[in-house]
Every structure is written in C-alpha cells, then in structure tokens.
Amino acid sequence: MEFRLIDRIRERTAQGREDVKLGIGDDAAVVAPPVGQELAIAIDTMVEGVHFPHGTAAADIGWKSLAVNLSDLAAMGASPAWALLALTLPTKPAEQLHAFIDGYAEGFAQLAQPHRLALIGGDTTRGALAISVAVHGFVPPGKALTRAGARAGDVVLVTGTLGDAAAGLHLLQRGARLDEGDGRVAYLIERLHRPTPRLSVGLALRDRASACIDISDGLLADLGHICEESAVGAEIEAALLPCSPMLMASFDDLAVRDFALSGGDDYELCFTVPPALVADVQTDLARLGCGATRIGRIIEGAGVRVRDAQGQWLEAAQRGWDHFA
Ligand code: ADP
Ligand code: MG
C-alpha cells in the first residue's frame, strides 16, 4: 500500500535532471552537486490545523508545502534543484488516501516543474496529517544572501503586496464564500493557499542586497530578524506599504495596515539595499515582473519603528501584534 502511494507520487512529480543519479526507490537518493557551487538547504513542516486550515484542498497543500521552502531558497539567492518529502498521513480508506496523494502531487508538481525541481526521495508514515519538505539549491561560493548584512542608511524594500494572505485566512475563518466580493475573496484566499516564491528576485539580488529574508511571520517580525542579525534598527513608513487593490477594497484602512505589518504567510521578500543601488534594483525587478517598493530605511540602533501617514510613531499596541498573535 505504502509503495503504491510512493509510486503515485513518483509518477506525478517526475522531473528529468542530469544531476540526479538515483531518485525515488532506493535506500537513499544519489545526486551530483555542481562543482564550484555551495548548497543551500532548508526544511519546513506543515501540520493540519496549525499551518493550514482543516479542509484545505490537497493540491493547495502540495503547492504551499513546496512554496514555503522555495521561498527560503529565494531569500538566500539560491536556485532550487532537489527536494525530499516526509508525509505523515492519517489512517483512511485507500481511495481517500489515493485522492489526497494525487491532489497533493498535482499541486506540488505545478510549482516544481517550472523550476525544474526534482523530488528525489522521502518518507511516508501514519499519524495526524503533517508534511515536511526539504529543498536543496545552489549558490555561488560566498554569494548567499543572509539576514546579517544590513547597514545604517540602507533602504528597506519589499516585493509584491503585503497582507493578502492574512486577510485571506481571516476571511476563510469567518466562513466567507469564494464568490463573494467580485472575486476579491477568491483572490485573497488564493494568495494564502498559493504563495509565489520570489526565486528570480532572489537571484537578481545577489551582490546587491545587503540583507534579505522572506516574510513568513509578518513584515515587522521578519524585518525584526534582519535588524537583530545585522545589529541595526529600521524605520518603516506605513503610508508606503504596498497593498493590493483587493485587500484595500475589502477592509478599512486600519485593518489593512495591521494585515500588512503583522500578517504572515505572504512569502514576499524583504531586503535592504545601499541607496546608490536602489534605482537599478527596482528597474531590474520590474523587468522580472515583480515590482519592489521602498518602505523605509535602516538606522543605527535596534528594533523596528513604524510611522503613520501623519508622521506619528505607532505604539506597539497599534501595530497589530495582538490580532495575529
Ligand atoms: P526505507 O525503508 O529504506 O527508508 P522507504 O520504504 O521509506 O525506504 O522508501 C522507499 C523509497 O521511496 C525511498 O527511495 C524513499 O526516498 C522514497 N519515498 C518514501 N516516501 C516518499 C515520499 N513521501 N515522497 C517521495 N519519496 C518517498
Ligand atoms: Mg523510510
């Protein structure tokens, strides 16, 4: 039975890569790492009811479980190559398990294929539904983007728009229907279930961004990690936060700001760039089809401060911490 499940996964995620000498089916995978490159490696676990709501479509789980890992590679400026998948599946009738696996593998493959990522192995066990994906990517020696290089004076930028995924989760939890709001609800929930890892942006930022992180826990928390690791502070202008028209049409201004500052799961990149490079970086990213917006700057000190549109500093309680804690 387990073997049939594994076969279904293998068939649906097949991806020819020269550097995979032995894929799914033996005791271990064998790969040929490219000479002269470093490996970037990440793993993330998603548990039903914790990291995705009960009832999430299998294909969405497949996409997202890979997307969150590819987002980590993007934040490092690495290009993806291989993945491992550890699946813990509840005891259910075979047809239900097969349907789940087929959906999962389809969503996974939809994201893996355009990036030529090969699933090379994994493990399958019984228990409450949980999924761990590990990814491996390549980066030239010493070129990995880290959280640690931001300097006072650098400009803080983010890709795409912020707050959509948290708004989507909020709507889902309140029982919103996908056909409500002229497609806005569907858009926001899609942003929750199907985040786009910004891999081409990560590559373009090598040698130019001084620090980079992907936004999984919310802008304030994740920019806070850059500040800690870089031993600097940051000032953000709330008025500059990029938000989608769908988000802005669905909530009042304060809720939008809270979602953008503190909502998780967007998987956009937040990065810092020396002022002289900002214009070039923005032009190049726009050419890649993923705009980046300047939202503030790095200062000496510690912590992240947010200024509202009137120039007042927000108190911690006004920054939406509580809503998403
Ligand atoms: P072993 O007992 O030697 O660890 P398994 O029976 O767990 O072998 O796995 C058999 C093969 O199937 C291995 O190559 C393993 O990497 C692969 N595999 C198992 N589960 C998965 C999965 N969920 N996704 C991808 N490959 C898997
Ligand atoms: Mg095993």
318 pLDDT band, cuts 50/70/90, is low
Which atom of ligand 1 is closest in space to residue 24's alpha carbon?
14
146 in contact with ligand 1, CB cutoff 6 A: no
What is residue 41's predicted lDDT score, i.e. its pLDDT?
98
In three state form, how does the secondary structure of the chain look? CHHHHHHHHHHHCCCCCCCEEECECECCCEECCCCCCEEEEEEEEEEECCCECCCCCHHHHHHHHHHHHHHHHHHHCCEEEEEEEEEEECCCCHHHHHHHHHHHHHHHHHHHHHHCCEEEEEEEEECCCEEEEEEEEEECCCCCCCCCCCCCCCEEEEECCCCHHHHHHHHHHCCCCCCCHHHHHHHHHHHHHCCCCCHHHHHHHCCCCCEEEECCCCHHHHHHHHHHHHCCEEEEEHHHCCCCHHHHCCCCHHHHHHHHHHCCCCCCEEEEECHHHHHHHHHHHHHCCCCEEEEEEEECCCEEEEECCCCCECCHHHHCHHHHC
3 pLDDT band, cuts 50/70/90, is low
Q: Answer for the pair 97, 89: CB distance below 8 angstroms, yes or no.
A: yes
5 in contact with ligand 1, CB cutoff 6 A: no
pLDDT tens string 4-46: 889 899 989 888 899 999 999 999 999 999 999 999 999 999 9
Which atom of ligand 1 is closest in space to residue 87's alpha carbon?
23
Q: Answer for the pair 267, 214: CB distance below 8 angstroms, yes or no.
A: yes
27 in contact with ligand 1, CB cutoff 6 A: yes
pLDDT tens string 195-246: 999 999 999 999 999 999 999 999 999 999 999 999 999 999 999 999 999 9
Q: Answer for the pair 297, 155: CB distance below 8 angstroms, yes or no.
A: yes
The answer to whether residue 321 scores a pLDDT higher than 50 is no
CA 87 → CA 5, 45, 48, 49, distances in Å?
A: 11, 10, 12, 16
Alpha carbon distance 73, 266 (integer Å): 15
Please, is 190 exposed, middle or buried when counting C-beta atoms within 10 Å of its C-beta (0-12, 13-18, 19+)?
Answer: middle
Ligand 2 center to 50 CA (angstroms): 25
Alpha carbon distance 153, 53 (integer Å): 41
pLDDT tens string 269-309: 999 999 999 999 999 999 999 999 999 999 999 999 999 98
Mean pLDDT over the full length of the chain? 94
Which residue has its alpha carbon closest to ligand 1 atom 8?
Answer: 27
Q: What pTM does this model have?
A: 0.95
Which atom of ligand 1 is closest in space to residue 2's alpha carbon?
6
Ligand 2 center to 26 CA (angstroms): 10
**107, 110, 112, 114 alpha-carbon torsion, rounded to 10°:** -170
Mutate to test the pocket of ligand 1, among 123, 125, 133 (most ligand atoms within 8 A of CB): 123
Which residue has its alpha carbon closest to ligand 1 atom 5?
Answer: 123
26 in contact with ligand 1, CB cutoff 6 A: yes
pLDDT tens string 91-129: 999 999 999 999 999 999 999 999 999 999 999 999 999
Ligand 1 center to 122 CA (angstroms): 5
Ligand that comes closest to the CA of residue 26? 1
Q: Answer for the pair 72, 178: CB distance below 8 angstroms, yes or no.
A: no
Which residue has its alpha carbon closest to ligand 1 atom 10?
Answer: 25
Ligand that comes closest to the CA of residue 85? 1
319 pLDDT band, cuts 50/70/90, is low
